[in-house]
Amino acid sequence: MPGGTTSESVPGPPVVAGRDRATVLTYAILLAITVAAWAHVLWSALADDMAGMDMAMTAGWLDGLAYVAAWGVMMAAMMLPSALPMIGLYAATQRTMPGVAARTVPVALFTLIYLALWAATGAPIYFASVALSSLAAEPRAWAVAALLVVAGIFQLSPLKQVCLRRCRSPLGFFLGRWRGGWRGGLALGWTHAAYCLGCCWALMVVLVVAGAMGLPWVLLIAVVVAAEKLLPRGEWIARATGVALVLLGIAVALAPGLAAALRGGGHSM
């Protein structure tokens, strides 16, 4: 995963410890975006408006764009809650900068590049969903079983732990790779998004492949992501999730009909 070099000094504890009006406003805006994204996700599921997104049989650019847009909204809903401490701390580091633009533009760019990278993952997810939907029931069940096991193994891997530690320690993240200004906002947002993607990609694969983006799976994966990043002993939550996914993959391999049950439950996004 990306490393970093420090060309400028990260603001010290007195700077980041306080909360000014701009920092509070940042939290308020991010919470409002999160609530709006979750409202859209829930409304879409309950209205069945986007049901069967994973069932498209052919790839088309209009369908692909709609899929990526819906995926981006869902990623905002699922990933912003666990990113709030990182973005909030970054906003706090900007509180002594002169001028409103100097304080807000880097934070906005940090957030936008984070959300944009997660939205962009919708493109390969779309084509993977099209490919998966073209498989017959038995090969699809084997694919589900294999990907569950792979995702579970990744949850237990050292790479997962490296990425997760970066996400769980906002101050350590900034100390290791601080850059100021709007270019710094872009670079830091990109680096954090890359670590976050490295940490959570396997869970998103499970969401699409095993859960068919059903609402219960969306809620479950969102809870797991937040628990890994925000709760004490989050590393062990990740490992426990990995063991559960490996066991579920083995169960699907032994009973292929279980794959259809996993993918058929709840409303699809």
pLDDT digits (tens, 9 = 90+) for 226-239: 999 999 999 999 99
Contact of 125 with 71, CB cutoff 8 Å: yes
Q: Check residue 80 and give its pLDDT.
A: 94
- In the chain, which stretches have pLDDT less than 50? 3-7, 14-15, 17, 49-57, 266-267
218, part of any domain: yes
Q: Check residue 248 and give its pLDDT.
A: 96
158, part of any domain: yes
Q: Check residue 49 and give its pLDDT.
A: 45
pLDDT digits (tens, 9 = 90+) for 195-211: 999 999 999 999 998 88
Q: Name the token pair of 111.
A: 């957030």
7, part of any domain: no
Question: How many CB atoms are closer than 10 A to CB 62?
Answer: 7
Work out how many domains the chain is built from and give that number.
1
The pTM is what?
0.84
269, part of any domain: no
Q: Which domain holds residue 47?
A: 13-264
Contact of 222 with 213, CB cutoff 8 Å: no
103, part of any domain: yes
216, part of any domain: yes
How far is the C-alpha of 32 from the C-alpha of 194, rounded, in Å?
24
6, part of any domain: no
3, part of any domain: no
Q: Check residue 57 and give its pLDDT.
A: 47
pLDDT digits (tens, 9 = 90+) for 47-57: 764 444 444 44
Contacts of 3 (CB under 8 A, 6+ apart): 176, 177
